[in-house]
A and B are shown apart, each in its own frame.
Chain A
Amino acid sequence: MKKQGRGIATIMFGFGYGEGFPDHAIASAEIEEGGKILIRTAAADVGQGVLTIITQIAAEVLKVKPEAIRIIPGDTHLTKNSGSSSATRQTFFTGNAVKEASEGLLSNIYHYASIEFRSNHVELGIKDGYIFRNDNPKNKLSYWELAERVKERGDSLKAEASFFPRTDIPDPKTGQGKKVYVAYTFVTQVIEVEVDTDTGIVEVLNVYTAADIGKAINPKNVEGQIEGGTVQGIGMALMEEQVIKEGITLNPDLTSYLIPTSMDTPHFATLLVENEDSEGPFGAKGIGEPATIATTPAIANAIYDAIGVRIYHLPITPEKILKALKEENKRGNKEGF
């Protein structure tokens, strides 16, 4: 018999390394020849989209099209430390460093342009990479022309910045600390499943997600993270297990270690809670890891809702479900503990 159920899970994730670790990111922005603005960062784009996020932030601050932004490929000798692409930290850390470096560059553009135009700052306007006096917008200088003039003065148009928030080392005896993590991301998922009580197979039907991410720099990208993270969570909940017996992995391949495929992907509805009240760039918080965390418990709770048995050892395989149902029938209908 097929039985449907629905489960909910709400999670938190303290992001950044925290715990007093000297976690920081350095970035720089400079006007380069060929009509581009060069951003230097070592932030690794593992597919999560940090290079896109940085491009949007720099374009926003510097008032140019995203196409004008060039990010140097990661290289220990051409970039400074941006910290790791982990701990859900790059949008927050490198995003802030790039925002501040871009603001530094913009300030210098104003500074040198005010010399060129013999004006004060409030009389200057900026649009799409050009700077001009508001009373004569036709007489404009591109950032790149301005950079040439600055070069003639023996200087250059660039700025470097870093983001280095303080956190506290928790007390070793109690784990207590004033600021252990820079901030928390929160996610709630409601997940609907269908359990086949004859085969024990669980199908995940619908996933409803609301995520408090402060502000989405790129909403589509956040949704992508949530969908990918959820599918990874479906794997953890229902099928994935590297079986290691006496130190030997019994299933070191993808025919016997199962991961979800597109056929296992449910329907998604996602809503972003954006209060823009975090210390991240434009109020953003990270979503990378929180995207996967609520899924497994929401599925476990949905299975309980569907068939009245609870599985305490992951993954919740068909075999475990059938065994639990069998025991449940013997015992009568009580919560499984």
Chain B
Amino acid sequence: MTERYVGRNVYKVDAQDKVMGKAKYPDDIYFDNMLYLKIKRATHPHAHLRRIDISKAVKLPGVVKIITADDIPQVKNFGLIIKDQPVLVGIGQKMRYMGDALAIVIAETKEIASKAVRLIEVEVEELEVISDPLRAMEKDAPLIHKDGNILATHYLEKGDIKKGFAEANVIVENEYRTTFLDQVPLQVEAGVGIYDEESGFIKLWVASQWLHDTQADVAQSLGFPKEKIRIIQPVIGGAFGKKEDISVHIHLALAAIATKRPVKLTYTREESMIAQSKRHPFIIRVKTGATKEGYLTAWQAEVIGDTGAYASSGPAVVHKGMYHCTGPYNVDNVKGVAYTVYTNNTYAGAMRGFGTTQMAFAYESQMDILAHKLGIDPAQFRLQNAYNIGSSTPNGQILTHSVGVKETIKKAAEIAGWKGGLR
């Protein structure tokens, strides 16, 4: 059957509005009588907040209100998987990274709000800053959250790893490291909020990768029924994982409730990079065994993922990386452990590939190193180990359909003019 529209290069339905400048991104939304927010952020990556003095800031002409944790005792923590992130850090509580919010400044203009932020005085009691996940895992390391610095541990075990390495003629063992990355969407975190006193509705215009999940998190944090939080999706200027987490949402809602006026908050790029999620840096220790004929026999991986100050997607990201540790290759014997570790760095969350991007750097380097050691063409080495229908993944999932991996190796080699004599 020939399709008329599926499989065809139909023009993108949103292209014209974007090209013509008609598309409304969050920062393009204006209301009359609108106020602007700026956030006072942590002054130290790991410290108890002892005093916050807003007296000078609040006197600045044009400042309408400043909200601190004292004003919102009913508001709860938020977070995608674990609710470990405070909306505002209160007196006696801890700031855990430089993006933690201490106060919401509401003013007639952005400039006044920025100026007022600088007039807020903060006193802290500094704690040891843990920037290295290996330090965080040590027994004597101070706890960033009360339940320990290792947020999650996941395991992988298939076959018999000892037997697998015993069968190997060549074993390659290496440590790979990746770094913090920013998703760098063109559009930084931004939004507009309105509170309707009569109906008790909060309306938010904030770009979000998952409207209904964000709605639920905002609602539970504010103690509102879910249906009273309405989120309207503006045009989104890129996300790559960075717009999964709460950013401006709850601060906008609180400011709208407090002032009964429309409010807007747009991060600076600097603020976006410091306060909002990152790609997890991974430490990957990997050991791979193969026979002299070039067939994989054993694969062992240990992963340490730095999830920074808050969980975000971390408990899902790090082990998803481990679950992909062998790449698309048949290996009967697999063993792995993945640690998701808190530090005082900017929190890490979702970014394109969700842990498997970091892992691919390790497994595809290992495959290359092995191919060279064995004297087998790297494309051929991949091809002879690649999955078929019936192959089993590191999770022991049997692939029953849609396994075109060998064809991708052959076709990529073909269009690249790869000279290796693929069989």
Residues of A within 8 A of B (CB): 6-14, 17, 19, 42, 44-47, 49, 51-52, 55-57, 59-60, 63, 66, 71, 73-77, 79-87, 170, 172-181, 183-184, 186-190, 192, 206, 208-212, 214-221, 229, 232-233, 235-236, 240-249, 252-254, 257, 259, 269, 271, 273, 275, 277-279, 281-283, 285, 288-294, 296-298, 300-301, 304, 310, 312-315, 335, 337
A252 and B270 in contact (CB under 8 A), knowing A86-B210, A275-B404, A312-B176?
Answer: yes
Considering only CB atoms, which chain B residue lies closest to A85 in the complex?
B209
A296 and B361 in contact (CB under 8 A), knowing A184-B403, A189-B412?
Answer: yes
With a cutoff of 8 Å between Cβ atoms, the chain B residues found around residue A84 in the complex are: 209-210, 213, 244
Q: Is B357 positioned at the interface, with any CB of A under 8 Å from its CB?
A: yes
Instruction: Kindly identify which residue among A14, A175, A277, A298 contacts B155, using a CB–CB cutoff of 8 Å.
Output: A175
A75 and B177 in contact (CB under 8 A), knowing A12-B327, A275-B402?
Answer: no
Structural contact, A188 and B233, CB atoms closer than 8 A: no
Structural contact, B404 and A186, CB atoms closer than 8 A: yes
Shortest CB–CB separation between residue A44 and chain B, in angstroms?
5
| B48-56, B112-120, B362-370 - interface stretch | B362-370
Structural contact, A14 and B323, CB atoms closer than 8 A: yes
Q: Is B162 positioned at the interface, with any CB of A under 8 Å from its CB?
A: no
A315 and B401 in contact (CB under 8 A), knowing A292-B352, A301-B368?
Answer: no
With a cutoff of 8 Å between Cβ atoms, the chain A residues found around residue B240 in the complex are: 46, 232
With a cutoff of 8 Å between Cβ atoms, the chain B residues found around residue A212 in the complex are: 402-405, 407-408
With a cutoff of 8 Å between Cβ atoms, the chain A residues found around residue B131 in the complex are: 244-247
| B84-92, B256-264, B290-298, B390-398 - interface stretch | B390-398
Residues of B within 8 A of A (CB): 3-14, 44-46, 97-98, 129, 131, 154-158, 172, 174-182, 184-185, 207-213, 215, 227, 229-233, 236-241, 243-244, 269-270, 273-274, 278-279, 316, 319-320, 322-324, 327-328, 336, 343-346, 350, 352-354, 356-357, 360-361, 363-365, 367-369, 372-373, 378-379, 382, 386-387, 393-399, 401-405, 407-413, 415-416, 418
Which of B177, B230, B238, B240 has most chain A Cβ within 10 Å?
B240
Cα A235 to Cα B230 with chains together (Å): 37
Instruction: Kindly identify which residue among A44, A81, A176, A209 contacts B395, using a CB–CB cutoff of 8 Å.
Output: A176
Shortest CB–CB separation between residue A80 and chain B, in angstroms?
8
A-B contact pairs, 15 of them (CB 8 A): A8-B378, A8-B409, A10-B364, A11-B360, A14-B393, A73-B233, A83-B210, A85-B239, A175-B157, A177-B396, A212-B402, A242-B346, A275-B407, A289-B353, A301-B368
Instruction: Kindly identify which residue among B11, B98, B232 contacts A249, using a CB–CB cutoff of 8 Å.
Output: B98
Structural contact, A10 and B402, CB atoms closer than 8 A: no
A190 and B408 in contact (CB under 8 A), knowing A73-B233, A85-B210, A242-B346?
Answer: no
Structural contact, B180 and A242, CB atoms closer than 8 A: yes
Instruction: Kindly identify which residue among A79, A186, A217, A282 contacts B408, using a CB–CB cutoff of 8 Å.
Output: A186
A71 and B13 in contact (CB under 8 A), knowing A10-B382, A314-B178?
Answer: yes
With a cutoff of 8 Å between Cβ atoms, the chain B residues found around residue A245 in the complex are: 131
Instruction: Kindly identify which residue among B270, B336, B369, B398 contacts A175, using a CB–CB cutoff of 8 Å.
Output: B336
With a cutoff of 8 Å between Cβ atoms, the chain B residues found around residue A77 in the complex are: 227, 230
Extra 5 A-B pairs, beta carbons < 8 Å, given A188-B412, A297-B363: A10-B408, A86-B210, A184-B399, A210-B410, A292-B352
Structural contact, B415 and A301, CB atoms closer than 8 A: no
Structural contact, A301 and B365, CB atoms closer than 8 A: yes
Structural contact, A180 and B393, CB atoms closer than 8 A: yes
Cα A188 to Cα B158 with chains together (Å): 26
Considering only CB atoms, which chain B residue lies closest to A220 in the complex?
B9
Shortest CB–CB separation between residue A66 and chain B, in angstroms?
6
Structural contact, A12 and B361, CB atoms closer than 8 A: no
Structural contact, A57 and B6, CB atoms closer than 8 A: yes
A180 and B397 in contact (CB under 8 A), knowing A218-B9, A300-B361?
Answer: yes
With a cutoff of 8 Å between Cβ atoms, the chain A residues found around residue B345 in the complex are: 244, 247
Structural contact, A47 and B237, CB atoms closer than 8 A: yes
Instruction: Kindly identify which residue among B6, B273, B397 contacts A60, using a CB–CB cutoff of 8 Å.
Output: B6
- 8 residue pairs, one from A and one from B, having the closest CB atoms: A247-B45, A74-B233, A212-B404, A297-B364, A84-B210, A210-B411, A190-B416, A12-B328
Structural contact, A253 and B408, CB atoms closer than 8 A: no
A56 and B415 in contact (CB under 8 A), knowing A292-B357, A310-B369, A312-B175?
Answer: no
Structural contact, A55 and B408, CB atoms closer than 8 A: no
With a cutoff of 8 Å between Cβ atoms, the chain A residues found around residue B175 in the complex are: 312
Structural contact, A282 and B402, CB atoms closer than 8 A: no
Structural contact, B411 and A51, CB atoms closer than 8 A: no
A208 and B412 in contact (CB under 8 A), knowing A180-B393, A247-B131?
Answer: yes
Which of A49, A175, A219, A235 has most chain B Cβ within 10 Å?
A175
With a cutoff of 8 Å between Cβ atoms, the chain B residues found around residue A177 in the complex are: 395-397
Cα A282 to Cα B1 with chains together (Å): 11
Structural contact, B232 and A188, CB atoms closer than 8 A: no
Which of B11, B156, B365 has most chain A Cβ within 10 Å?
B365
With a cutoff of 8 Å between Cβ atoms, the chain A residues found around residue B365 in the complex are: 297, 300-301, 310, 312
Structural contact, B356 and A13, CB atoms closer than 8 A: yes
Considering only CB atoms, which chain B residue lies closest to A291 in the complex?
B352
Cα A278 to Cα B401 with chains together (Å): 7
Structural contact, A47 and B236, CB atoms closer than 8 A: yes
Considering only CB atoms, which chain B residue lies closest to A174 in the complex?
B157
Shortest CB–CB separation between residue B135 and chain A, in angstroms?
11
Structural contact, A14 and B324, CB atoms closer than 8 A: yes
Instruction: Kindly identify which residue among A190, A246, A288 contacts B45, using a CB–CB cutoff of 8 Å.
Output: A246
With a cutoff of 8 Å between Cβ atoms, the chain B residues found around residue A214 in the complex are: 402, 404
Which of B343, B356, B357, B394 has most chain A Cβ within 10 Å?
B357
Cα A233 to Cα B358 with chains together (Å): 11
Structural contact, B357 and A296, CB atoms closer than 8 A: yes
Cα A56 to Cα B97 with chains together (Å): 45
Considering only CB atoms, which chain A residue lies closest to B232 in the complex?
A75
Shortest CB–CB separation between residue A12 and chain B, in angstroms?
4
Structural contact, A176 and B157, CB atoms closer than 8 A: yes
With a cutoff of 8 Å between Cβ atoms, the chain B residues found around residue A173 in the complex are: 155, 157
With a cutoff of 8 Å between Cβ atoms, the chain B residues found around residue A47 in the complex are: 236-239
Cα A221 to Cα B129 with chains together (Å): 45
A55 and B393 in contact (CB under 8 A), knowing A76-B215, A236-B357, A273-B404?
Answer: no
Cα A8 to Cα B386 with chains together (Å): 14
Shortest CB–CB separation between residue A253 and chain B, in angstroms?
6
Structural contact, B230 and A76, CB atoms closer than 8 A: yes
Structural contact, B361 and A314, CB atoms closer than 8 A: yes
